[in-house]
Amino acid sequence: MTNWKSIRIEKGSGGWGGPLIITPTEQKHKFIYVTGGNRPAVVDKIEKLTGMKAIDGFKTSIPDNETALAIIDCGGTLRCGIYPKKGILTANVLPTGKSGPLAKYITPELYVSAVGENQVSAVAVDEVAQGTEANMVKTAAADEASQTNEAKYDSSKTITQQLNHTSFIAKIGIGAGKVVATFNQAAKDSVQTVINTIIPFMAFVALLIGIIQGSGIGKVFAKVMSPLAGNVWGLMVIGFICSLPFLSPLLGPGAVIGQIIGTLIGVEIGKGNISPQYALPALFAINTQNACDFIPVGLGLEDAESKTVEVGVPSVLYSRFINGVPRVFVAWLASFGLYAGK
C-alpha cells in the first residue's frame, strides 16, 4: 500500500474559499489538472507532497469517483463550478471567486482560488483526524435530527400536496403552483446570472474601452493592427495564429485575448480607422480559439472514457486549426453589402 499524505490548500492573495484538506485514499489517489495544456508548478508540489498521480485533462481523464482534486485556471466561466457540482475538491490557480453560471455550487468547502506553491502545505496526522472526527460529528447530528423530525408531514412539500387531494380543483391549484414556482425560480436564476456573469463582463469591457481611449493605446494599436485588421489577408493571419493547436488552450480561458483584441478593433471601427466591413471577419478571426480550453471539461460532462478524451481533444484542436483560416475568408465574403451606405 502506497504511503499517501494529506495536504492543506489555502486561498492566495485576492483568492476565495477554502481551506481544503486533501486526503488521498485507495479509491481517490489521483488528481486532474485542466490548465490550458500547461502544467503549473503547484501540480508538481502537490504530486510530491501527497504521492498522488497527476493527470493532464487535455490528454486523458479519470472517473469522478477516483478524482481526489481538480486543478483549474478558470477566469469565471463553467469550469469554476462544474467540478464542485460533482462534489470534487477544486483549486483554481486564478483569483476567481464565486462566479459563473454554476456559482451556486461553488462553496468554501469545495473550492479555493489564487492557489500557488505557497498555498500548499503538508498536514499533520492529528489535524486530519480532527477534521474527520468533526465531519463524523456533523453527519451523526444531521442523522439524529433527521430521525427526530420524522413526522407525518414532509417539510419539503406543501400541506396541499401531502393531503393527496384527488379533486379537480386541488389538481388545478397544485398545477398552477408548480408553474408559478418554475417561472419564479427561472427569474431568480436569470437575475443571478446577470449579476454574477454579464454585469462584470460589461464592466470589464467598459474598463478596456476607457483605458484604450484615455491612454492612447488605441492610436498605437491602430498603427500596428491596421495592416492586419484592415484587410482580409491580415485577418486570416490573426485567425491562423489564434487557431494553432498549441496556442488555443492557452488563449481560450475566459477568451481574454479575443475580448481585448475585439474591443480594440471595435473602437477603431467606431473611429473610422478600420472599415466596418471587416467587423464580421474580425469576429471570426479572434475567436478561432474560443472554448478550446473547455474540451476536456465538455467531454467529462458527457462521461467520456479515457480513450475518447485522448482522441477527442486533439481532434477538436486540429479541426479548429483546419477551418480557422477558411472561416475568416467565408465571413469576409459574407460581409459584402452588410454595411453599404446610401
- Would you name the residues annotated as active-site residues? 74
For 228, counting Cβ atoms within 10 Å of its Cβ (0-12 exposed, 13-18 middle, 19+ buried), the class is middle
Q: Let me know: does 331 contact 281? Beta carbons within 8 Å.
A: yes
- Residues with Cβ within 8 Å of 318's Cβ and at least 6 positions away in sequence, in order, are 245
Angle, CA 12 vertex, CA 207 and CA 81 arms, to 5°? 70
DSSP assignment of 132-174:
HHHHHHHHHHHHHHHHHT--SS-TTS-HHHHTT--SHHHHHHH
Q: Which DSSP letter does residue 7 get?
A: E
Per-residue CA distances from 206 to 100, 192, 197, 238, 267 (Å): 19, 21, 14, 24, 11
Give me the DSSP letters along 276-304: GGGHHHHHHHHTTTTTTTSHHHHHHHTT-
* DSSP code for 263: H
**310 contact partners, CB below 8 Å, separation of at least 6:** 59, 60
Distance between CA atoms of 273 and 117, rounded to whole angstroms? 46
* Nine-digit cell string for 187: 427569474
Q: What is the dihedral of CA 327, 328, 331, 336, to 10 degrees?
A: -140
**Alpha carbon distance 245, 257 (integer Å):** 16
User: Cell 483568492 identifies what position?
Assistant: 15
